[in-house]
Amino acid sequence: MTESAPDPVNEAVPEATPGATPGATPDALAEAAAAAPPRRSDATRGAILAAARERFAADGYERATIRAIAKDARIDPSMVMRYYGNKEGLFAAACSIDLRLPDLTEVPHEAVGRALVTHFLDVWEKDGVLTAMLRVGITNTAGAERMQGIFRDQLLPVARRVCPDPAEAPTRAGLCASQILGMALTRYVLRFPPAVALSVQEMADWVGPTVQRYLTAERP
């Protein structure tokens, strides 16, 4: 009995990696994948999250709708549901922020406050995500709780490493957050002219010593 030839229509064909050479080694394929342009889905997700942050900030959680967010992102509402399931899932994703706090182990102990302030100013100057989320936190309870969690989970370990008594770390981290968020509120949201007029270096010079005191000074 003669063995039948493979069906060229149904036979599975490995998906090619963009930029890869046929017959390339696994290492070459990995390099080609790393060099490939971002997938369209990544751009779509980014557009959805950007629109969601702005809409949640403007309307609050309750009034913001999937339809309005999709319209802002210029996509079909079904795409939002496809990626995030529902409004709660979208809100959680939009409020998931990595503060990208620097490794302060190599920073002199007396310079930690200024280093933190400089870092936050740099993030706020280059990326509007934190500003949008600060607006969300002001307008609704869910946004405020998300911001509290972000700063608690990411700033608290920094305070615990540098403060005199680790038991005081939550209080000290909270005071640091009040200073940093107050700085951001006046400079990037309310845009008080004197706060806006200061350069990043001048702002760090003014606010850094206060954050330093909150982190490392003896308890009053």
- Per-residue pLDDT, averaged over 174-193, amounts to 95
Residue 71 pLDDT level (bands cut at 50, 70, 90): very high
- Per-residue pLDDT, averaged over 6-13, amounts to 37
Considering the chain, what is the average pLDDT of its residues?
Answer: 83
The whole-number pLDDT of residue 80 equals 94
Q: How far apart are CA 56 and CA 164, in angstroms?
A: 39
**30: pLDDT strictly greater than 70:** no
* Residue 100 Rama label (left phi>0; alpha psi -120 to 50; beta): left
| Percent above pLDDT 70 for the chain | 82
pLDDT digits (tens, 9 = 90+) for 93-128: 888 888 888 888 889 989 999 999 999 999 999 878
Question: Most distant CA pair in the chain: distance in Å?
Answer: 94
Closest CA to 195 of 181, 209, 177, 174: 181
What pTM value is reported for the model?
A: 0.70
Residue 17 pLDDT level (bands cut at 50, 70, 90): very low
